[in-house]
Amino acid sequence: QTRATMLKSQWEPLANAESGRRSWSVIQPQGPRKPQYFCCGNACGCCPPYILFLPVLGLVAYLLGLLGLLLTLVVVLILYVVLGCCGCSLCCYSETWKCPPFYWFTDLHPKIMYLVYQAIFYSHKIPTTSPEDMPVDKIKPKQKLDKQKISYALNIKVPNRFKEEFIDDPPPIKDRLSQFVAERISLIPQIDHFEAFAPDEDPVEFVMNQMNSIYPEIYQVWDEKLSD
């Protein structure tokens, strides 16, 4: 019997009540009620056959999990032996940012963002309309571009930068690597730091010194403008 047939035979008496067919909201399960632990059934007179094999299945799952754990430990150990020294050196390098004259009391997230943006900022080339930057043979045919959502935006989608014309296809490895890091860097835990400035310390000067290498160049100056 299918589930629909079983339900029909179960609720048939209620459907022929004097008031006509009843809605699902007034139909009640048949009694007496009893607890359901998903162990008993009509098969074999007491329970489904697979219940009898649960200890064997549990043993197999346990052995597979133990094997997977051992393999994971071996892989982690190999990675630590090969890359552990480099990783520890990078961690120590990031901690030295707190020392003078830098005073970067931040966690790993803004440090990586700073280095990634700085690499993009100084490796970026301003294109021109010359044949070297915009060759005619690299004009791509008209097509619908793949879009992706902008992080921290309200459902705004833009085409991928790699769909731009006049660039290498496939894109250079550094572009793909920078996008991979930018899309997943938000997964790194972030910690807020609320250290106060000293009474004689200028916050604006401090930020300008910290952001000097990546702060956008201001090419317009208004003498009457006193703040941002």
Q: How far is CA 63 from the centre of its chain?
A: 32
Q: Is the pLDDT of residue 90 over 80?
A: yes
Residue by residue, DSSP assigns 82-126 as HHHHHHHHHHHHHHGGGSTTT-----HHHHHHHHHHHHHHHH---
Task: Identify the pLDDT of residue 196.
Answer: 79
pTM exceeds 0.75 for this model: no
Contacting residues for 134 by C-beta, under 8 A, at least 6 apart: 127, 128, 165, 166
Cβ atoms of 58 and 38 closer than 8 Å: no
Cβ atoms of 105 and 98 closer than 8 Å: yes
Q: Is the pLDDT of residue 9 over 80?
A: no
Interval 34-59 mean pLDDT: 74
- Could you tell me the two tokens for 200? 């004689």
Q: Is the pLDDT of residue 50 over 80?
A: no
Q: Is 177 strand, coil or helix?
A: helix
Rounded CA separation 168/155 (Å): 29
pLDDT tens-digit series, residues 169-210: 566 676 677 677 777 777 888 777 787 788 888 888 888 888
pLDDT tens-digit series, residues 13-36: 544 445 555 555 667 777 787 777
